[in-house]
Amino acid sequence: MALCTGIRGAGGRRHLARLLASGALALVAACESRATGAARATADATTAAVADTAELAPADTAPVTPGTMPRPAAPADTSRRAARPARLSPLADTISGYLVFAPVGERWFTVSSRNRRTFVDIGRVDIGVRRDSARAAAYREAVEKRATVRVGARFRLRGPWGAEDVTAAAVDTWNGRIVLRLAGSPTMDSLARARTALIASAYRTDSVAEAARDTCDRAAPLPPALEARLAQIRDSLTAELRAGTGPPYERLRRRLSIASSQVTGCFGPSRVALVVSLKAGNVEWVRERVVLVDSVGRVTPLRVSDYRFRAHDLLVAFDADGDGVDDLATRATTERAGATTLLVLDLDAKRLTRLAAGFAWEEP
């Protein structure tokens, strides 16, 4: 190898001629062949390295320069994989297809007493589940494992008597509704056994708070002058509704009826809430006026936002959302359907807006 290097370094034709003359032609050929092979091997290795780099680099990225290396892709985050739902028995799995629950994240619910028990409404069941014990057990299984509100959930209950914490104790059903039986104070249990249905709001919470007593005196009788004033207001609203534009069809005009209701509460400066409705048919057409009346007879008209429900019968007043102002529980109706709705009062906006609805029913 040293000799071959020397031949290349001599660089002149005269040196090559001397080698040829001395009979070293074979040695020259061998050296040239080795040098050519080494150069070809070096070139092939370089080409292969470039090709390997091209295969590793993405086609749409810039070539890798010395001193910079591409960062590896971040591993996929598998820490928040959704838990698999609990397995159901065959009958419970069938029944679960007929259950409609409250939306995930819903916080406000309607509470009412039925058959001397207090229930919170959490959805609708579209299949009979009381035919036999096996079907009832499968229904309870499906609700316990699939409901958006489970047994053991805690609520802050607010009603005419005050506020307290209650717990969902068991699954039940009532008139096509999915309900949870509530466990609370002896006061709540006593009110549930009364002749008048208990109505309350339930706010789902994880915190614990002290029971609070409501201080509004709703049972106090109204002064005779205020009673007379309420009668005048009711008659005036009735006359206004009848004088307005009536139903568009003759069959509805023949079936017009007036309904009114009132409740006493603490509505800021006002003392009484009054509603007067002009209805036609099976609540196919409705005109309604809702007002607040203070202790001296001043009237404050209210707007009502209760989605599809058109007419309202006032049931009771209480502070449903805990803001210190009474709200309204109503029996709300529309054509061939109804529900118990809770309407919260915004005194500044002079508006009633639905807080929650439950125990809905529909006619066939």
Whether 66 is covered by a domain: the verdict is no
Alpha-carbon distance of 223 to 216, in angstroms, equals: 17
The pTM (predicted TM-score) of the whole model is 0.76
User: Do 135 and 187 belong to one domain?
Assistant: yes
Whether 163 is covered by a domain: the verdict is yes
Domain that holds residue 154: 90-213
**Tokens 């249905």 correspond to what residue?**
197
The predicted-structure confidence for 288-307, as pLDDT tens digits, reads as follows: 999 999 999 999 999 999 99
User: Do 230 and 320 belong to one domain?
Assistant: yes
The pairing of beta strand 299-305 with beta strand 351-362:
parallel
Identity of the residue numbered 66: P
Cα angle: 159, vertex 162, 167; to 5 degrees: 70
User: Do 201 and 231 belong to one domain?
Assistant: no
Domain endpoint, select from 188, 213, 238: 213
User: Do 195 and 97 belong to one domain?
Assistant: yes
Whether 313 is covered by a domain: the verdict is yes
Q: Are 124 and 177 in contact (CB under 8 A)?
A: yes
Whether 252 is covered by a domain: the verdict is yes
Domain endpoint, select from 154, 185, 213: 213
User: Do 153 and 206 belong to one domain?
Assistant: yes
User: Do 109 and 2 belong to one domain?
Assistant: no
The predicted-structure confidence for 26-42, as pLDDT tens digits, reads as follows: 443 444 444 444 444 44
Whether 231 is covered by a domain: the verdict is yes
Whether 61 is covered by a domain: the verdict is no
The total number of structural domains in the chain stands at 3
The predicted-structure confidence for 117-171, as pLDDT tens digits, reads as follows: 999 999 999 999 988 999 999 999 999 999 999 999 999 999 999 999 999 999 9
Is 60 exceeded by the pLDDT of residue 8? Answer: no
User: Do 358 and 230 belong to one domain?
Assistant: yes
Q: Please state at what angle helix 13-21 crosses helix 2-10, rounded to 10 degrees.
A: 130
Is 49 in a helix, a strand, or coil?
helix
**Tokens 């409740």 correspond to what residue?**
263
pLDDT-based confidence at residue 86 (cuts at 50, 70, 90)? confident
Tokens of 139: 């229904």
pLDDT-based confidence at residue 83 (cuts at 50, 70, 90)? low
pLDDT-based confidence at residue 81 (cuts at 50, 70, 90)? low
Tell me how crowded residue 93 is: count the other CB atoms within 10 A of its CB: 15
User: Do 179 and 265 belong to one domain?
Assistant: no
Contacting residues for 343 by C-beta, under 8 A, at least 6 apart: 304, 306, 312, 327, 328, 329, 330, 352, 353, 354, 355
User: Do 197 and 235 belong to one domain?
Assistant: no
Whether 51 is covered by a domain: the verdict is no
Alpha-carbon distance of 142 to 148, in angstroms, equals: 11
Alpha-carbon distance of 273 to 191, in angstroms, equals: 23
Q: Please provide the distance, in angstroms rounded to a whole number, between the alpha carbons at the two ends of the chain.
A: 106
Tokens of 303: 């707007």
User: Do 198 and 242 belong to one domain?
Assistant: no
Alpha-carbon distance of 353 to 305, in angstroms, equals: 5
Whether 50 is covered by a domain: the verdict is no
pLDDT-based confidence at residue 57 (cuts at 50, 70, 90)? very low
User: Do 112 and 11 belong to one domain?
Assistant: no
Tell me how crowded residue 200 is: count the other CB atoms within 10 A of its CB: 30
